[in-house]
């Protein structure tokens, strides 16, 4: 959703671990959301396998309006730093960064699910892999969306913000159902990503106010929880829709309110015993996002096959805990090994695409210079070559604290 620790005379704390800081609530908010996302997938998957429903289903329904809006708003919160840089660093940090993890874990899932993807044949699997760059694959779509949203925002950055916000609001409220998943969810959620970017000072100011005034934060959180619960369990069932996502006039206000509600709650949790653990999970949300599917799927299969002396709701919570803790434990065990590249992007992985782009521009520039020179002075040969910077191999680049990760509003 990191930094390599430096050795000192005594054992130093992990610099990747978030400390209590004025913006620690950002990581706590991400920790809350990634936990709710894993809960949703663990619960719905287990219930579908068992043909029964537990109390965890109500928790997942309660969180549906604000899970993704909060993630996307937090994703856009610090986008301004990347947009202020040139195209090359922007592409490295906000496009190739996400596509590296998307491609790597797409390959992993293709191998694991080989019998089920592409008909179990090599040709079918390769076709499926290629198609996943048109229609993002299952749970990995969020990485694809972050790269896409960042690029779109860069392209429209000179357009008046009210115009972009108006168009994004219109798309979100129109409940687009094209059948193309990435387009549909983009229409649903880009509003929150762009609003997080453009309204970052206001969002951060709200968080700082809630942090400084815990009583106000407690009151706001209580009011939000009551309103969200009333609408989800009292109003939405009367609208005769399958989920609240199918009622845009309800889900949009709940999403916006939920972003601020989660932030207020996060500022309160910062003072609690659970605060550091949630901040840790939020800071490493990419780890949970990428790897949670495997322990959840394996343990769910074991529960279904061998049974478990728990009710469905409690079993869903056990699956959720496994989907959070086991990926974090795996990442911790791999930090000093070559396999750390599963969760920490090697610097060369981003510099290579950027170098190819630069090389292509160099070739175009060279061809242009040669053409002009030939026209001006026949028989003169012009050779122009611009060297690309050398790639520093072996360096590790943080996966990025500003990468809140989740799975989707129109979850499959």
Tens place of pLDDT per residue across the chain (412 aa): 433 333 333 334 443 443 445 589 999 999 999 999 999 999 999 999 999 999 999 999 999 999 989 999 999 999 999 999 889 999 998 999 999 999 999 999 888 877 777 777 888 888 888 888 888 887 888 999 999 999 999 999 999 999 999 999 999 888 777 888 888 888 889 999 999 999 999 999 999 999 999 999 999 999 999 999 999 998 888 887 777 777 777 889 999 999 999 999 999 999 899 999 999 999 999 999 999 999 999 999 999 998 888 999 999 999 999 999 999 999 999 998 999 999 988 876 555 555 555 554 444 444 333 433 333 333 333 233 323 333 333 333 333 333 333 333 343 3
Q: What is the pLDDT of residue 128?
A: 84
Q: Is residue 166 part of a domain?
A: yes
At residue 10, φ and ψ (nearest 5 deg) are -125, 165
Mark out the alpha helices in 307-394 (DSSP H runs). Answer: 312-334, 347-376
Residues 406 and 68: beta-carbon distance below 8 Å: yes
- Could you give the 3-state DSSP secondary structure of residue 346? strand
Q: Is residue 149 part of a domain?
A: yes
Q: What is the pLDDT of residue 267?
A: 96
Q: What is the pLDDT of residue 363?
A: 44
Q: Is residue 60 part of a domain?
A: yes
Residues 150 and 104: beta-carbon distance below 8 Å: no
Q: What is the pLDDT of residue 348?
A: 61
Q: What is the pLDDT of residue 22?
A: 59
DSSP structural state of residue 270:
T
Give the separation between CA 352 and CA 412, rounded to whole angstroms: 33
Residues 255 and 65: beta-carbon distance below 8 Å: yes
Mark out the alpha helices in 213-311 (DSSP H runs). Answer: 214-230, 248-269, 275-283, 285-291, 293-306
Give the separation between CA 209 and CA 216, rounded to whole angstroms: 9
Q: What is the pLDDT of residue 354?
A: 53
Q: For the purposes of burial, counting CB atoms within 10 Å of the CB of 348, is it exposed (0-12), middle (13-18) or buried (19 or more)?
A: middle
Q: Is residue 81 part of a domain?
A: yes
Q: Is residue 371 part of a domain?
A: no
Least Cα distance to 407 among 314, 281, 292, 247 occurs for 292
Q: Is residue 269 part of a domain?
A: yes
Q: What is the pLDDT of residue 365?
A: 44
Give the separation between CA 245 and CA 241, rounded to whole angstroms: 9
Q: Which tokens go with 174? A: 């129109």
* Domain span at 284: 24-345
Give the separation between CA 194 and CA 317, rounded to whole angstroms: 33
Handedness of CA 339, 343, 344, 346 (dihedral sign): positive
Q: Is residue 361 part of a domain?
A: no
Q: Based on the structure, what is the number of domains in the chain?
A: 1
Give the separation between CA 357 and CA 119, rounded to whole angstroms: 35
The angle at the Cα of 148, spanning 145 to 154, to the nearest 5 degrees, equals 140
Q: What is the pLDDT of residue 355?
A: 56
Residues 389 and 338: beta-carbon distance below 8 Å: no
Integer angstrom CA distances of residue 311 from 28, 55, 308, 322? 29, 9, 8, 17
Q: Is residue 232 part of a domain?
A: yes
Residues 287 and 327: beta-carbon distance below 8 Å: yes
Q: What is the pLDDT of residue 357?
A: 54
Handedness of CA 26, 38, 180, 91 (dihedral sign): positive
At residue 251, φ and ψ (nearest 5 deg) are -70, -30
């Amino acid at each position: 959703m990191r930094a390599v620790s430096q050795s000192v005379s005594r054992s130093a704390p992990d610099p990747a671990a978030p400390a209590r800081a004025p913006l620690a609530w950002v990581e706590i908010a991400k920790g809350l959301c990634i936990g709710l996302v894993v809960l949703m997938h663990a619960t719905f998957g287990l219930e579908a396998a068992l043909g029964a429903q537990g109390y965890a289903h109500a928790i997942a329904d309660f969180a549906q309006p604000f899970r993704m809006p909060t993630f996307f708003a937090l994703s856009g919160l610090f986008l301004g730093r990347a947009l202020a840089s040139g195209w090359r660093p922007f592409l490295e940090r906000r496009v190739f960064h996400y596509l590296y993890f998307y491609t790597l874990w797409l390959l992993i899932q293709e191998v694991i699910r080989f019998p089920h993807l592409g008909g179990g044949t090599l040709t079918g699997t390769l076709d499926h892999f290629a198609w996943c760059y048109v229609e993002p694959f299952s749970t990995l779509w969020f990485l694809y969306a972050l790269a896409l949203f960042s690029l779109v925002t860069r392209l429209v950055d000179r357009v008046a913000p009210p115009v972009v916000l108006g168009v994004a609001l219109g798309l979100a409220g129109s409940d687009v159902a094209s059948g193309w998943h990435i387009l549909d969810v983009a229409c649903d959620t880009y509003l929150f990503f762009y609003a997080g970017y453009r309204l970052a000072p206001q969002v951060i100011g709200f968080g700082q106010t809630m942090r400084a005034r815990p009583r106000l934060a407690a009151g706001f959180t209580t009011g939000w929880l009551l309103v969200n619960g009333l609408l989800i369990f009292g109003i939405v069932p009367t609208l005769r829709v399958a989920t609240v996502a199918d009622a845009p006039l309800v889900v949009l206000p709940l999403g916006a309110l939920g972003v601020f509600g989660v932030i207020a709650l996060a500022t309160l949790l910062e003072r609690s015993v659970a605060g550091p653990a949630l901040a840790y999970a939020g800071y490493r949300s990419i780890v949970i996002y990428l790897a949670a599917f495997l322990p959840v799927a394996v343990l769910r299969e074991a529960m279904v096959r061998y049974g478990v002396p728990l009710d469905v709701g409690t079993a869903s919570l056990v699956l959720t805990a496994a989907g959070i803790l086991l990926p974090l434990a795996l990442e911790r065990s791999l930090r000093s090994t070559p396999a750390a590249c599963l969760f920490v992007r090697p610097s060369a992985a981003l510099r290579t695409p950027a170098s190819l782009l630069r090389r292509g521009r160099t070739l175009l520039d060279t061809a242009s210079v040669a053409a002009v020179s030939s026209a001006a002075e026949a028989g003169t040969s012009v050779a122009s070559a611009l060297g690309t910077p050398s790639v520093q191999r072996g360096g590790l680049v943080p996966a990025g604290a500003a990468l809140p990760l989740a799975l989707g509003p129109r979850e499959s």
